[in-house]
Amino acid sequence: MKIRIYYIIISGLLIFFASCKKDNYGAPGSTLKGRIVYNGDPINVQYDQVNFELWQPGFGKLAPINVTISQDGSYSALLFDGNYKLVFSDGQGPFMWKKNAQGNPDTLAVTVKGDQTLDLEVTPYYMVRNTSFSASAGKVSASCKLEKIITDINAKNIERVTLYINKTQFVSGSDYISLTDLDGSAITDLNSISLIADIPAITPTQNYVFARVGVKISGVEDMLFSDVVKVQL
């Protein structure tokens, strides 16, 4: 009887240590970073709204790692070395990601081995070009050009263009102290768009604001943005 109990205890300990060995992976130590780009130009988006998925088949439970895109189009992920599949799900971002033969979002094979930089090429519906900002008499003025990139059957209209102003460098539909909208139907020339927004009272007082132009595309949830610019008052 004692021998039987002894073997039961030994078997239990072996299972316990095997389980610990399986679960106690070391911390990830490699950084994959880059930008979302079109012909080398970054795609600016709203902070914490656009992401892509990284899948690593055969590594524990199969579940995606969601990587969030910063407002300047950059990303960074701390990962284990290994082989991954990268994909943007349908509806992510103000752009189109490549499709496979079945019409589904295609996957990009990525091998991580140490720190590396990988820019991801996408096709935006529009690009914001030649943006200019200035401040005068309690107002911020902005001008820009919108370049229509997708012109085939997948082309989409502009719902509105918005000038956002904020106290900090985070500027978007969720982070602003003032804004002004221009309806898409009121745009007569994509090469010449102008907007003016009032500067509200700021407490504590500061002699600058941050601004950028956002573009809402019809039927697309995520907005496209210009760079964030510091505007002296």
Of 123, 150, 170, the last residue of a domain is 123
pLDDT digits (tens, 9 = 90+) for 38-56: 999 999 999 989 999 999 8
**Shared domain check, 139 and 106:** no
pLDDT digits (tens, 9 = 90+) for 67-113: 999 999 999 999 999 999 999 988 999 999 998 888 889 999 999 99
**Shared domain check, 129 and 117:** no
**Shared domain check, 182 and 134:** yes
Per the structure, the count of domains in the chain is: 2
> Would residue 16 count as lying in a domain?
no
What's the confidence (pLDDT) of residue 13? Answer: 38
Is the pLDDT at 216 greater than 80? The verdict is yes
Helix (H, G, I), strand (E, B) or coil at 117: strand
What's the confidence (pLDDT) of residue 10? Answer: 42
> Would residue 7 count as lying in a domain?
no
Residue 11: enclosing H or E segment and its boundaries? helix 2-23
Is the pLDDT at 4 greater than 90? The verdict is no
> Would residue 42 count as lying in a domain?
yes
What's the confidence (pLDDT) of residue 2? Answer: 39
Is the pLDDT at 215 greater than 70? The verdict is yes
Q: Is residue 20 very low, low, confident or very high in pLDDT (cuts 50, 70, 90)?
A: very low
**Shared domain check, 74 and 44:** yes
What's the confidence (pLDDT) of residue 220? Answer: 97
Alpha carbons 221 and 89: distance in angstroms, whole number? 13
Residue 191: enclosing H or E segment and its boundaries? none
Nearest CA among 133, 141, 128, 134 for reference residue 197:
141
**Shared domain check, 94 and 82:** yes
| CATH number of the structural domain spanning residue 178 | 2.60.40.2060
What's the confidence (pLDDT) of residue 186? Answer: 97
Range of the domain at 83: 30-123
C-alpha distances (whole Å) from 7 to each of 1, 15, 155, 180 are 10, 12, 70, 76
What's the confidence (pLDDT) of residue 24? Answer: 54
Mean pLDDT of the chain: 89
Question: What dihedral do alpha carbons 20, 26, 32, 33 form, nearest 10°?
Answer: 110
Output 164 or 102, whichever has higher pLDDT. 164
pLDDT digits (tens, 9 = 90+) for 104-142: 899 999 999 999 999 999 999 999 999 999 999 999 999
Q: What is the DSSP string of 140-152?
A: EEEEEEEEE---S
Of 123, 143, 166, the last residue of a domain is 123
